[in-house]
Structures are given as structure tokens and as C-alpha cells.
């Protein structure tokens, strides 16, 4: 057990730092916003429905981003683990700022800080993919990533750093990097484009493509 003076100093330091009232409110609001956005994206992905207010254009195209290879990890939409992360962080924040043993407060501060930095590094990864690889942007995704970046910034600028900035940053980078590595190593599935013959395109009525195709079925050609 810690002496009473040490216990009070740890509690006071945490209260004045990461768990201060103003910072704690900001953390909760950012986690809630990221959770709601991620939940909406996960719901849309599972139901195979387009997101609202994001029509395709040369730059803004949610469908291009959300249907790309980089929108999934191990076949699961990346918004699903994002929901788990932000829900966990929001739940842990419910215990922040309350009277508790110093050991619990230090552990809570550690887990939250690593979680915030993981969200920040993941945001850097996915924003980079949209800008450099996909060359299309998804405003819904960017909104969630912005929340992750702000959470990591609040964690890094906290006056309480009992574990040091470098170890916390490396821990978050390791977790986010693991997700990025899994995506990078996952083979891109083959996709196909349906080629309809010219004489079949002009067919009217209820006649099917098979009636006009010399092969009796659609012709498939792998996309480049």
C-alpha cells in the first residue's frame, strides 16, 4: 500500500492532468462521437447500404473508400473493431475522475492513454490510405479519424505522464501497426466485370442475356 501522502499526490496529479474535469469532458465527447460514427458505418457495411450524404465525385466518394480492400480487416469492416475500441474507452472513462486506489488510477490512465494513441495511429494509417492509395475521401471516415487524432493529442499533452510519452506512443503504434500489417498482408480478392455483348444490350422485353450469348451465359473478365 502507498502512504497516504503518496496516494493523495497521485490522485491530485491525475485529477489535474488526464482526468481533469475539462479534459475528461472532451475525452468523453470525442469517444462518443467516434463511437456513433463508427457504429453507423458498421451498420451500413453489414446491411450493404450506402451512407447518407456522400455522393461519388472525383475526390469525395464514400462508396469507393468503404468498398475497397482497405475497408476490411480479416474480412470484417474496420468500423466494427473501431466500435469495440471506442465503446471500451467510453466505458473506462466512466471510472475516470472518481475516488479509487492509486494503483487502479495508474492502470486506468495507462490503458486509456494506450487506447487513445492507438486510435490516433490508426487514424494516421487510414487517412494516409485515403489520400495516397485510394485518392478518394470519405467524410464520415475522416470525422471518426479526426476524433481519434484529437484523443491522442489530449493524451500526449496531458500533464501526467507517469509512463512517459515514448513508451505510450510505441504501445499505440504497435497495436495500430498490427492492424495495418494484417491489412497489408491480406491478399486482394479477385474481382470480375460482367461484359454484356452489344447485341444483348439492345435486347428489349424480358429476354435474358443467356438467350443472346453464344455461350449461354454471361462472359466474365477479370478487372485490372
Fold observed for domain 4-185: de novo design (two linked rop proteins) (1.20.1440)
Residue closest to 160 by CA, chosen among 96, 69, 222: 96
Q: What pLDDT does 196 receive?
A: 59
Averaged confidence pLDDT in the chain: 81
Is residue 174's pLDDT more than 60? yes
Residue 140: the pLDDT is 96
* Residues 52/104, Cβ–Cβ less than 8 Å: no
Task: Give the confidence band of 93 by pLDDT, cuts at 50, 70, 90.
Answer: very high
pLDDT in tens, 107-148: 998 999 999 999 999 999 999 999 999 999 999 999 999 999
Closest CA to 178 of 45, 85, 44, 68: 85
78 against 160, higher pLDDT: 78
* Per-residue pLDDT at 96: 87
- The pLDDT of residue 84 is above 90: yes
Q: pLDDT tens-digit profile of 14-63?
A: 544 567 778 899 999 999 999 999 999 999 999 999 999 887 678 899 99
Locate all alpha helices (DSSP H) within the chain, ordered by sequence.
Answer: 4-16, 21-46, 62-66, 79-93, 102-128, 139-156, 165-185, 198-201
Please check the confidence at residue 219 and state whether its pLDDT lies above 80: no
Q: Where along the chain do its domains lie? A: 4-185, 192-222
Q: Torsion-angle region of residue 208: left (phi > 0), alpha (psi -120 to 50) or beta?
A: beta
3 state DSSP class of 192: strand
Confidence of residue 190 (pLDDT cuts 50, 70, 90): low
Amino acid at each position: 500500500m502507498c502512504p497516504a501522502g503518496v496516494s493523495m499526490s497521485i490522485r491530485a496529479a491525475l485529477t489535474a492532468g488526464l482526468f481533469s474535469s475539462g479534459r475528461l469532458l472532451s475525452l468523453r465527447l470525442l469517444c462518443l462521437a467516434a463511437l456513433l460514427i463508427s457504429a453507423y458505418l458498421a451498420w451500413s457495411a453489414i446491411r450493404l447500404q450506402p451512407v447518407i450524404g456522400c455522393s461519388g465525385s472525383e475526390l469525395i466518394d464514400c462508396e469507393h473508400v468503404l468498398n475497397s480492400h482497405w475497408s476490411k480487416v480479416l474480412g470484417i469492416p474496420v468500423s466494427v473493431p473501431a466500435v469495440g475500441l471506442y465503446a471500451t474507452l467510453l466505458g473506462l472513462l466512466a471510472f475516470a475522475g472518481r475516488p479509487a486506489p492509486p494503483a487502479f488510477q495508474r492502470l486506468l490512465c495507462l490503458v486509456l492513454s494506450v487506447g487513445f494513441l492507438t486510435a490516433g495511429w490508426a487514424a494516421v494509417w487510414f487517412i494516409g490510405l485515403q489520400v495516397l492509395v485510394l485518392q478518394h475521401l470519405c467524410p464520415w471516415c475522416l470525422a471518426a479519424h479526426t476524433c481519434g487524432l484529437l484523443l491522442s493529442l489530449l493524451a500526449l499533452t496531458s500533464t501526467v505522464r507517469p509512463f512517459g510519452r515514448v513508451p505510450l506512443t510505441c504501445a499505440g503504434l504497435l497495436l495500430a501497426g498490427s492492424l495495418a500489417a494484417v491489412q497489408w498482408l491480406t491478399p486482394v480478392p479477385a474481382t470480375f466485370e460482367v461484359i454484356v455483348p452489344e447485341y444483348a444490350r439492345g435486347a428489349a422485353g424480358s429476354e435474358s442475356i443467356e438467350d443472346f450469348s453464344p455461350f449461354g451465359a454471361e462472359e466474365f473478365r477479370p478487372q485490372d
